[in-house]
Amino acid sequence: MKILNANCLHSGDWNAAGPQFRAELKSHGKIVNQFPADHNGAWMWTQALRELGHEVVEFDYRASPIIKKEWRARYPALFRPHDGQSYKSGWIPSLETQLINGLLLRQAKRQQPDIFITYPGERILPETIEYMSKTLNIKTVLWLGRDVVFEATPNVVESFPHYDFVFTIDPPAVEKYKKHGARKVFYLPLGCYPPTHKPIELTSEDQAQYAGAVSFVGQLFDDRPEVLSQLVGDNINFWTHWWGPDMDRKYPQLSPLYRGQARGRSMIKVLNGADIVLNFHRKTNSYEGTNMRTFEAAGCAAFQLTEHKKEIGNMFRIGEEIEVYYDMPDLKRKIDYYLRHPDEREEMAKNAQRKAYAEHTYHHRFDEMLDVISQHN
């Protein structure tokens, strides 16, 4: 089966992606892989699908058709201002969006895939999805890891009626998305990718940079800064690319706990270097479902203390493969308890990895997705 994976490389990921792109330019004269190895979900989707025997074509829908990736890879400093302005001001994003959709349709016509899949697809226009589905007879698939209705993500909800299939990580969103025009909606959690999410040995330099007793790595949206602020003094460390002067002024108590940025391989090192990994869910995204960090941490054989969600108990045995907390006092108690009981942590972490590899990889998820598509075709 041929699959067109139209995904995105976030502008902030260029620091990590740049070295691989430059290496490909040197060896091939062009960028071969649109998404950098070990770095983001788009790459893992491609690899898992290929390992399942499918042919995958990649399309980066956030790549500017005006500024080529090859230029950005060779001269990154020249194009950093573009990252902050291209999606914010006037005619530039409008022109880019029209050009991107034209390029995407050209790719779809040329490659003639059986399935088109994207996440979250905010720069893909409704008429593009409709044309691929009705005129090109491509099965169009949207897999969502956030609540695009609540966030009012541009173009996505408007495209619901044109997608053949919508998958969501949150069970309540199934009916919610149907009410907003989606025709076929199914619950499908995210997963891990074992070649990336795995135990690794940290060097002494890595230990100094990424190890911690209690560690959080991720974005600081919603109430996460407030939650971390209540844990000051509990051996907390955190890594995020959201930290800057404004956050420093607003949350000065968190400044001593900030350890820097950690994305891609660096995030894997944080997960491997923690005695306890904290997992906070987005209040507006995961009402019952769980996020991707649940599976990433489990794949790395990290002991995880996660906010309770209804679906967690359907995927991991609570107290044996994963630990959950219900409120702040419970979280503090369990941090204290598990820091003093390393044997229990290690046993639970090993159990979590076994379960994740046996049932919760992207290979499992795509097998299930393609089965659903086949059954409801």
Question: What pLDDT digit, counting tens, does each position of 198-231 carry?
Answer: 999 999 999 999 999 999 999 898 889 999 999 9
Token pair belonging to 268: 């894997």
Average pLDDT over residues 2-26: 76
CA distances to 53, 54, 278 from 363, rounded to whole Å, are: 11, 11, 26
Confidence check: pLDDT of 289 > 60 = yes
Confidence check: pLDDT of 11 > 60 = no
pLDDT digits (tens, 9 = 90+) for 105-138: 999 999 999 999 999 999 999 999 999 999 999 9
DSSP codes of every residue in 266-303:
HHHHHHHHEEEEEEPPPTTT-SSS--HHHHHHHHTT--
Say what the pTM is.
0.91
CB proximity list for 304: less than 8 A, separation 6 or greater: 276, 277, 279, 294, 297, 298, 322, 323, 349, 352
* Phi–psi pair at 136, nearest 5 degrees: -90, -10
pLDDT digits (tens, 9 = 90+) for 135-144: 999 999 999 9
Token pair belonging to 153: 């993500």
| Bridging pattern class, strands 115-118 and 139-144 | parallel
SS (H, E, C) 13-77: HHHHHHHHHHHHHHHHCCCCCCCCCCCCHHHHHHHHHHHCCCEEEEEECCCCCCCCHHHHHHCHH
Is the separation of the CB atoms in 305 and 278 below 8 Å? yes
Determine the Cα–Cα distance for residues 317 and 348; give it in Å rounded to an integer: 10
| Domains within the chain, CATH numbers bracketed | 2-189+362-375 (3.40.50), 204-359 (3.40.50.2000)
**Confidence at residue 322, expressed as pLDDT on a 0 to 100 scale:** 98
pLDDT > 70: what percent of the chain?
Answer: 91
* Residue indicated by tokens 């720069």: 123
**Confidence at residue 76, expressed as pLDDT on a 0 to 100 scale:** 66
pLDDT digits (tens, 9 = 90+) for 72-91: 667 766 555 445 444 445 55
Confidence check: pLDDT of 14 > 70 = no
CB proximity list for 235: less than 8 A, separation 6 or greater: 212, 213, 214, 335, 339
Write down the H helix ranges in the chain: 14-28, 41-51, 69-74, 76-85, 91-111, 126-130, 148-151, 156-159, 173-179, 204-210, 224-229, 245-250, 265-273, 292-299, 312-315, 328-339, 342-359, 362-375
CB under 8 A, 24+ apart: contacts of 46-53 = 46/5, 47/193, 47/195, 48/193, 48/361, 48/362, 48/363, 48/365, 48/366, 49/3, 49/5, 49/366, 51/363, 52/363, 52/366, 52/367
Find, among 326, 263, 334, the residue nearest to 303 by Cα.
Answer: 334
